[in-house]
Amino acid sequence: MSLPGQTTGENLAATNNVPAASTPIVAARKSCAPEAHGEILKVSNLGLTFGTLHAYEGIEFSVREHEFLCIIGPSGCGKSSMLMSIAGHNWPTAGEILFGGQPVRGPDVERGLVFQEYALFLWMNVFDNVGFGLRMLRAATGSEYRRQVEEHLALVGLTEFAHYWPYQLSGGMRQRVAIARALAVKPRVLLMDEPFGALDALTRRALQQELVRIWQLTEMTIIFVTHNLQEALYLGDRVLCMTRRPGRIKKEIAIDLPRPRDVEDPSEEMKQIIKEMQDAVYSEVDSPRGHGA
Ligand SMILES: Nc1ncnc2c1ncn2[C@@H]1O[C@H](COP(=O)(O)OP(=O)(O)OP(=O)(O)O)[C@@H](O)[C@H]1O
Ligand SMILES: [Mg+2]
């Protein structure tokens, strides 16, 4: 089932006030031990053509449960289109997407989609925005509904702002609202398309940290598109590097480094990973002959 807020895009973020791992929200999601993590998503020979334009083609990859997968690639190589395909909002012209072993045939609340653009409902206050999905799905009512909304507001540190309107919030706060709204319906996978792209460097760094903390508190799987190589290094368990359009997976880089990662003062290993990403992607950046966006 799709959520209107998810079809138009959302921004995810969080804050410093993430509760301890013993809170109900965490208990509800921690369903299996790390070693039990299996494959949650499998993409096989996926392609998408818009008329005569090949957005992406021959895409093959798998994602395991609770993995944090980053995707980088030149502008116009089909990253957003591919995320939309995984979300079930467009129809690939080739190949197959299996989610939990089942073919993706349309949007589903288990696959939340999050975009760079703010996508709050301007006519709802923060509390109602966060509760929107729960109301749509009739997932909770009465005091249980209020409890769940409050829990997610606390998760992103916005308890005091429950009655604010979107226009009264900063960009970072709006994204916290969006993350709370996305998390409230307990997606198994969050598909995030440059969610921090519009933020200043400091806010971006804070939200990266909080996203990792929330991800660590839950069993969520995240697929995160970014143009920022440092961001991929900070966030990802693995990075997929795409070619120019039609986008293909060019290289896969595992980031097997402990967290938190100090990307401001990178180790030799981090520098090496950044270099691998640069080598993979910079050579794909637009040429004057019109590849790319
Ligand atoms: N609905 C559509 N109809 C026609 N063409 C489309 C549509 N959506 C995307 N495209 C085209 O598909 C190609 C890939 O677009 P997409 O937005 O997926 O790229 P991207 O990798 O996300 O780029 P960016 O990094 O700039 O966000 C582009 O050439 C774009 O013009
Ligand atoms: Mg895009």
Nearest Cα residue to atom 28 of ligand 1: 76
Secondary element (H or E) of residue 43: strand 39-50
Q: Which residues surround ligand 2, an ion (CB under 5 A)?
A: 80
Task: Identify which ligand lies nearest to the alpha carbon of 50.
Answer: 1
DSSP-assigned letter for residue 220 = -
Domains of the chain: 4-282 (3.40.50.300)
Mutate to test the pocket of ligand 1, among 46, 48, 81, 291 (most ligand atoms within 8 A of CB): 81
pLDDT in tens, 243-281: 999 999 999 999 999 999 999 999 999 999 999 999 999
Instruction: State the Cα–Cα distance between residues 122 and 167, nearest whole angstrom.
Output: 7
Higher pLDDT, 223 or 288: 223
pLDDT in tens, 109-141: 999 888 777 689 999 999 999 999 999 998 889
Confidence of residue 202 (pLDDT cuts 50, 70, 90): confident
Residues with CB under 6 A from ligand 1: 50, 53, 55, 73, 75-81, 245, 293
- Nearest ligand 1 atom to the CA of 48 is 12
Is the link from the previous residue into 187 a cis peptide, with omega within 30 of 0?
no
Confidence of residue 15 (pLDDT cuts 50, 70, 90): very low
Q: How far is the CA of 55 from the centre of ligand 1 (A)?
A: 6
